[in-house]
Structure 1
Amino acid sequence: MAEQPQQLVFIPFPSVGHLVSMVELAKLLVHRHTTLVVSIPVITSLSTAAAVTRYTDSLAAPDSDLNPRVKLLHLANDDDDPSAPAGSVLALIQSQKPRVTEAVSAELTRSGGRLAGFVHDMFCTSMLDVAEGFGVPSYIYFTSGAAFLGFILRAQELHDQEGVDLTESKELAELAIPTLKHHLPRKVIPSSFLNKEWASVVHTMARDFRKTKGILVNTVKELESYAVDSLSSGKNNTPKVYPLGPILNLKAEENSDGSILQWLDQQPEYSVVFLCFGSMGAFNAEQVKEIACALEGSGHRFLWSLRRPVQGAWASPTEYENVSEVLPEGFLDRIREVGRVTGWAPQAAVLAHRSVGGFVSHCGWNSTLESLWFGVPMATWPMYAEQQFNAFLLVEELRVATEVRMDYRTESGEIVSAEEIERGIRSLMEEDCSRKTRMKEFSDQAKGALMDGGSSSCSITEFFRDVMSAGDV
């Protein structure tokens, strides 16, 4: 008699980056546990629907490697206002609870089996009561690192128990965070913690985290051993933490424009600095010219992913029809032999290439993990979200990165000078070989973590055992 299927429900945040990460985690889990089925209700907002649809269509393609035991449940959505502020995305998630309940109930009726639990994206804690309605436990999938998880929990603790309001306590030059060896300077505290409306949202998230059975963290124990040990100490009502990364989608760009990789093939080993600022990263024309002057002045070979900024919350950058319109006159001619300016770039494939010796990055966590996976040293230029914190972690705690800036914020409108950018590029490409050595060590550890007997592999097994037994309670 066949063993009864075990079901988990994953609740993703309605953006491609978060959805991709959850799908990759689901693929990993069902590959390792043959009785497991994962259902993923796909929530979309009007501002992200096109990108999400492109991605989900790719999963339905004949050449997709999506396991049939990972099921995408598409939810109708006619409630979203495209002109609403970014914070309304959280209200959208709240509004989708009846649809998620209906979709999960229908899937359980169709497929049968035992529902064991829900895994919620870190921004989807409003769905905890949906899991409660089904009588099963909830877990959080935290798509950032363990040190930042510790910061979120500490900030909420400071607010609720010690009366410290980071939005007002400007006299605090730095904070002691249990998951960091060094004190955290105020200048790298993410903007959301310094804004009253968003700080309230983050504190609510942290309180909700503490109500769950556990937190799955997209990190590697060896990479963030100090933070993982701190979170696992059992203090301060922290749920059990499962470091099970790196969860990456390294195959997504295999069918991308091959000319970029062909150009890289012609460059010497470790000679190219790669500049790429994520799916939401773009600069105004004045800043673009400063970057161009810095690249030309550095004398280093480079590949620069340059995209046009678009106004509006959650609006993704677009491609330039004629990139020369924002570059200094004659720039493309002068750098023809040593540099290439492109629009969208296949980041994972570029970082994997033997000619790439450094990565100027916005320090998004997925990009950070990709750079670590391929052992490419970084120069930090954070822009939004938790990226300033990540930059501090990379430069001061892990010592695998130099900085263009650690405290840059998109909303500041500040222009970083060509001299400062050039100094960061030279430091990245010319100085401190120890950074590359540490990156190589972390790369080996990250790959080993997912192998049988590795730290993340064991953590995945432990989570599966815990969630299945928790569902019996």
Structure 2
Amino acid sequence: MKKAELVFIPTPGISHLLSTVEVAKLLVDRDERLSITFLIMKLRPDPKIERFINSVSTSCNRIRFIDLPQDEPDPNQPNMLFFSLIEAQKHHVKDEVSKLVCQSESSPDSPTLSGFVLDMFCTPMIDVANEFGVPSYIFLTSGAASLGLQFYVQALHDEQKVDPTEFKGSDAELVMPCLANPLPAKLLPSPMLNKERMPFFLGLARRFRETKGIIINTFEELESHAIDSFSKGNTPPVYPVGPVLNLNRDGDRDEESDKRKDIKQWLDDQPLSSVVYLCFGSMGSFGVDQVKEIACGLEQSGHRFLWSLRKPPPEGKMGPPTPSDYTNPRDVLPEGFLDRTANIGKIIGWAPQTDILAHPSVRGFVSHCGWNSILESIWFGVPIAAWPLYAEQQFNAFMLIVELGFGVEIKMDYKSEFHSDGNENVISAGEIERGVRCLMELCDEKREKLKEMSGKSRKALEIGGSSFTWLGRFIQDLADHLP
């Protein structure tokens, strides 16, 4: 293969960007002929993303980043803002790729444009790739079963003429090739049950089928059933190359480093395997009523806890929610809670999650079941109590508990829509206490099973491991499809 350049287009937002950059690093480390240009879309300025990009640019000379101009979103489409932003960026992408092609043609040493690697939400860019005559690939930041679900629902709609939104509130169970167990329809991702958003998600799956391949952040040993379900040949090839985790500290700043030291010090002072860690991802937060119930449930459980408590974003703000840290958590916690739990608990805002999960004093993780968090919990062998919020997290919770048997449930069918105040669907302190106790008292057999999978997740990335081999196949297929 001659020198080849891939254009990566991630979705705006730090959680998708982190794993997409890690895949890019794997590719350039594996093959010196590859170089990668990221085209970065922005919903709004984000200092964390800026720091991360600067850090990676400094350390990886064959990965570079180009910021795309920021267009004003359409205020008439607040619910579809995210998707209209991506569609509106097509002409900016075309302009930047034209410059790359000109550069390549004017210099014989420059790499040849060889393809687009698109985030799962960036399918409009397939049109741009087609204009340049290069193949498109998808990078899926969720798991293989999640991809199977998208294909299943799309085929159900397009071929069997079933409207997925009719499953809303239904007790139906769905049998699909990517799962070994029937899925309760109430665990379908919210957008698939929403008449306004469902057409967009069906469109994603249709466009996935047009690509030359789908790179998935999973590994064969974890999702063998789902990965096998793609072998029938009616979908593009899939490449499970994970777990793709951001375990280093790209973009760390001094302030976060100080917080990290403080959290580590507190964990160091706790007994071995005694702490439950609660965190709901980069976009997870709760209203005051729910915060109080969590606090009471933790206190009643009697277990030591480290709780990443985030403040909901202001109402009316456009785009996906971005929680912030509380100036004073006492404002939302029950009176006297911090004093009564001072010896067993710690409230934090931003959380260095991989450091926390790696710490020997942490025994369990109450999580929103974002796919990155699930992969991190498996990597470090920490079982999860599932409390999904939005997107495909209810489905991920089902995968974790029913398909894999690696966790317990706080409430698997809990749903929280973006921009709600979080108070309409409050889980009681008693339910939270029960979930925390079940998690912390999880039987040795389940813990051992998770520990075994943790070892497999690490081996998958080693030379000769399953993900190492799949990454090699992707590079070979890329070479075979060079323009």
Distance 2:329 2:15 in 1: 26
**Alpha-carbon deviation of 1:252?**
2.8
In structure 1, distance between residues paired with 2:57 and 2:120 = 27
- Contact residue 221 and residue 455 of structure 1 kept, 8 A: yes
Structure 2 segments unaligned to the other structure (5+ residues): 105-109
Give the alignment's TM-score, normalised by structure 2: 0.93
Q: Secondary structure at the match of 1:231?
A: coil
- Alpha-carbon spacing, 1:8–1:261, altered in 2? closer, same or farther (3 Å): same
| 1:314 corresponding residue in structure 2 | 320
Q: Which runs of structure 2 are paired with 1:173-252 in the superposition (5 Å)?
A: 173-234=172-233, 237-252=234-249
> Does structure 1 residue 55 correspond to structure 2 residue 49?
yes
Q: What secondary structure is seen at the aligned counterpart in 2 of 1:329?
A: coil
Which residue identity is paired with 1:292?
A
Spell out the pairing of 1:319-358 with structure 2 (5 A cutoff). Answer: 319-358=325-364
What residue is the counterpart of 1:108 in the other structure?
101
Q: Does the aligned pair in 2 maintain the 1:86–1:314 contact within 8 Å? A: no
1:74 aligned residue: 67
- Say if 2:312 is the partner of 1:302: no
In 2: Cα distance, 1:120 partner to 1:58 partner: 19
Map Cα deviations across residues 131-159 of structure 1 (whole Å, 9 max, x no partner). Answer: 11111111111110001100000000000
Q: Percent of aligned pairs with the same residue?
A: 51
Shift of 1:390: 0.3
Instruction: Tell me how far apart the structure 1 counterparts of residues 334 and 125 of structure 2 sit (CA, whole Å).
Output: 50
How far apart are residue 431 of structure 1 and its match? 2.8
2:242, 2:461 within 8 Å by CA — same for their partners in 1? yes
Amino acid at match of 1:101: K
Distance 1:66 1:122 in 2: 26
Asked if 1 retains the 8 angstrom alpha-carbon contact of 2:53 and 2:65, the reply is: no
How do 1:263-274 residues align onto structure 2 when only pairs under 5 Å count? 263-274=266-277
AA partner of residue 270 (structure 1): S
Structure 2 CA distance for aligned equivalents of residues 301 and 113 of structure 1: 54
The one-letter amino acid of 1:263's match is W
What residue number does 1:293 align with? 296
**How many angstroms apart in 2 are the aligned matches of 1:117 and 1:266?**
50
Specify the alignment match of 1:94 in structure 2. 87
Map 1:131-142; keep pairs closer than 5 Å: 131-142=129-140
Deviations 1:168-209 (A, max 9, x none): 245561101111010000121111110012110111000001
Instruction: Render the CA deviation track for 1:388-440: whole Å, top value 9, x for unaligned.
Output: 00000001000001010100011382110011001000000013222211211
Cα deviation for residue 81 of structure 1 reads: 4.9
Q: CA deviation at 1:315?
A: 2.3
Q: Structure 1 residues 199, 461: CA separation in 2 closer, same or farther (over 3 Å shift)? A: same
Partner of 1:388: 394
Which secondary structure state, in structure 2, belongs to the residue aligned with residue 8 of structure 1?
strand
Query: Larger deviation: 338-347 or 169-178?
Result: 169-178
Q: Give the C-alpha shift of residue 98 in structure 1.
A: 1.4
Secondary structure of the structure 2 residue equivalent to 1:304: strand
- Residue matched to 2:121: 123
Equivalent residue number for residue 420 of structure 1: 431
Q: Please, what is the CA RMSD of the aligned residues?
A: 1.7
Once the two structures are superposed, residues 267-321 of structure 1 have per-residue CA deviations (whole angstroms, 9 ceiling, x without a partner) of 1111000000001111111111111111111111110000111133412111111
CA distance in 2, matches of 1:406, 1:167: 19
Indicate if the aligned counterparts of 1:59 and 1:66 stay in contact, CA closer than 8 A: no
Checking the alignment, whether the CA contact within 8 Å between 1:359 and 1:379 is kept in structure 2 is yes
Aligned residue for 1:436?
Answer: 447
**Equivalent residue number for residue 455 of structure 1:** 466
Query: Does the 8 Å CA contact 2:57/2:63 hold for their aligned counterparts?
Result: no
Q: CA deviation at 1:5?
A: 2.0
In the comparison of the two structures, how many residue pairs are matched?
A: 463
- Amino acid of the structure 2 residue aligned with 1:274: Y
SS where residue 325 of structure 2 aligns? coil
Q: Which residue of 362, 365, 368 maps to 2:371?
A: 365
Q: How far apart are the structure 2 equivalents of 1:207 and 1:186? A: 21
Q: What amino acid is aligned across from residue 392 of structure 1 in structure 2?
A: F
* Contact 2:175/2:183, CA 8 A, preserved across alignment: yes
Structure 1 residue matching 2:343: 3-state secondary structure? coil
Kept in 1: contact 2:57–2:65 (CA 8 A):
no
Contact 2:220 2:466 in 1 (8 A): yes
The reply on whether 1:260 has 2:253 as its aligned counterpart is no
Specify the SS of the correspondent of 1:415: coil
* Structure 1 residues 153 and 144, CA gap change in structure 2 (3 angstroms): same
Q: Which deviations, in whole Å up to 9, do the C-alpha atoms of 1:85-142 show, x marking residues without a partner?
A: 1412211111111111111221333352211111111001111011111111111111
Partner residue, 1:26: 24
Q: Is the 8 A contact 2:174 2:185 kept in 1?
A: yes
